[in-house]
Homo-oligomer: A and B are copies of this chain.
Amino acid sequence: MVVKRNIYLDNVPLKEAYDIFFRRIEELKISPAWETVPVEKALDRITAEPVFAVISSPHYHASAMDGVAVKSADTYGAMETSPKHLKLKEQYVPIDTGHPLPSGFDAVIMIEDIHQVDSETIEIISAAAPWQHVRVMGEDIVATELIIPVNHTIGPEDIGAMLAGGIWEVKVRKKPVVTIIPTGSELVQPGEMPGSGKIVEFNSRFFSGLITRWGGKPRALEIVKDEYDRIKEALLEAVKDSDVVLVNAGSSAGSRDYTAAIVEETGELLTHGVAIKPGKPTVIGIVQGKPVIGVPGYPVAAFFILDLLVKPLVYKLQGVVPPRRSQVEAVMSRRVVSSFKAEEFLRVKLGQVGDKIMATPLPRGSGVITSLVRADGFV
């Protein structure tokens, strides 16, 4: 038996691979889709259009205090030395905070500032200015006013403000469906203890967590055996109802790494091999108008490819850019030498030492998922 191998088509720098990929996505006019959801279920969704109020809030003049509603004109001249008496119904009405002012009334006097003379009379010792202690109509929201803009991630307060403005449904970006095809005859599903040479398929669950955090809708398929036709069939099926497809493993240049060839046969192979470490064995292509990424099998390599290529794509399909990663300046606790051939991403653990932050490199192996568990950041 001859050892048969693919060769990498190319081994392009990350920036170039990124640019080729996203330029092609622009050309294909792959753009965000939208759907309508009830406002109450819109937490963390992204608006697909600006939202304008339909009603004002409050939509009537409301008391801002517990006390009595009065007509300000009736109160003029009231002073400590010459108190005024007001009559129930015609001149004053008890009112609680938030309740509407009866028609004709235009001010509120606080409970603390009145003196009850008898069951139908109160005494006041100062005048009420018009609209005193009144939340006038539209104080919070005026009908037709912009509540939240387009491309805005909906927070709890936005839900409150939309409902206050009479909006019950909102147009939001559809969550991009990202289908993960786990391939490999050595894989077994979690729940089953792996025999020799078998490994637990955990990558699709790891990826699903990342995609969920980015606002996407992950869908992990059953494990597909390392056979060209089976993977091809799964891919062609998956692109039909996905926005993005990830083929996990099989993206390298081994004898059973079919992803590049399948993408080439069924679509357009943009890049095979990205010059980063870890993460080199990566396939980028388009199949039936859908972005397809062959993701390395090693979880750390996979993480960087997902973070560098899939994350911006999932956000782009929601009309936004990923939030900026927080940065901190730190001193490496020991020298690390990287190869010139590839951009290297190093996992580090941070610690405060005196007034400096020290970054201690974690194991560099791309199969070491615990280095991601322990990492505080990347260099």
**Which positions in A face B, CB cutoff 8 Å?**
1-3, 5, 39-40, 43, 55, 57-60, 62, 64, 66, 68, 88, 94, 96-100, 111, 114, 116, 119-120, 122, 135, 139-141, 147-148, 155-161, 163-164, 166, 168, 184, 186, 190-191, 193-194, 196-197, 199-203, 205-210, 212-213, 249, 252-257, 297-299, 303, 365, 367-370, 372-373
Q: Are B186 and A98 in contact (CB under 8 A)?
A: yes
Asked whether B88 lies within 8 Å of A1 as measured between CB atoms, the reply is yes
Number of copies: 2
Tell me which of A57, A100, A116 has the highest count of chain B C-beta atoms within 10 A of its own C-beta.
Answer: A57
Cα(A64)–Cα(B135), bound, Å = 70
Contact of A208 among B40, B99, B164, B191 (CB under 8 A): B40
A157-B303, A200-B164, A202-B163 known; A370 vs B140 contact (CB < 8 Å): yes
* Minimum CB distance partner of A6 in chain B: B66
> Which residues from B are CB-within-8-Å of A114?
3
- Given A147-B373, A160-B203, A373-B148, check contact A254 B197 (CB 8 Å): no
State whether A98 and B297 are in contact (beta carbons under 8 Å apart), knowing that A140-B368, A147-B373 are contacts in the complex. yes
B3 touches A254 (CB 8 A): no
Please state if B297 and A5 are interface contacts (CB–CB under 8 Å): no
B156 and A206 contacting across the interface, CB-CB below 8 Å: yes
List of B residues within 8 angstroms of A141 by Cβ: 369-370
* A159 vs B206: C-alpha distance when bound (angstroms): 6
Besides the known contacts A59-B199, A156-B209, 5 further A-B residue pairs in the complex with CB atoms under 8 A apart: A3-B68, A5-B66, A5-B111, A60-B196, A96-B256
**A135: nearest chain-B partner, CB-CB:** B367
- Contact yes or no, A373 B161, CB < 8 A: yes
CB atoms of B39 and A205 under 8 A apart? yes
In the assembled complex, the Cα of A191 lies from the Cα of B369 at a distance in Å of 48
Interface pair B99/A212, CB less than 8 Å apart:
no
Instruction: Output the least CB separation between A314 and chain B (Å).
Output: 13
A247 to chain B, nearest CB (A): 15
Q: Which residue of B lies closest to A54 (CB)?
A: B193
Question: A116 — which chain B residues lie within 8 A by C-beta?
Answer: 2-3
| Chain B residues closer than 8 Å to A191, beta-carbon distance | 168
Complexed CA–CA distance, A194 and B207 (Å): 45
Chain B, residue nearest A371 (CB): B140
User: Are the C-beta atoms of A186 and B147 separated by less than 8 Å?
Assistant: no
Q: Contact between A94 and B1 (Cβ–Cβ < 8 Å)? A: yes
Q: Min CB distance, A316 to chain B, in Å?
A: 20
In the complex, chain B residues whose CB is within 8 Å of the CB of A213: 43, 156
Known contacts A1-B94, A1-B119, A168-B191; is A160 also within 8 Å of B40 by CB?
Answer: no
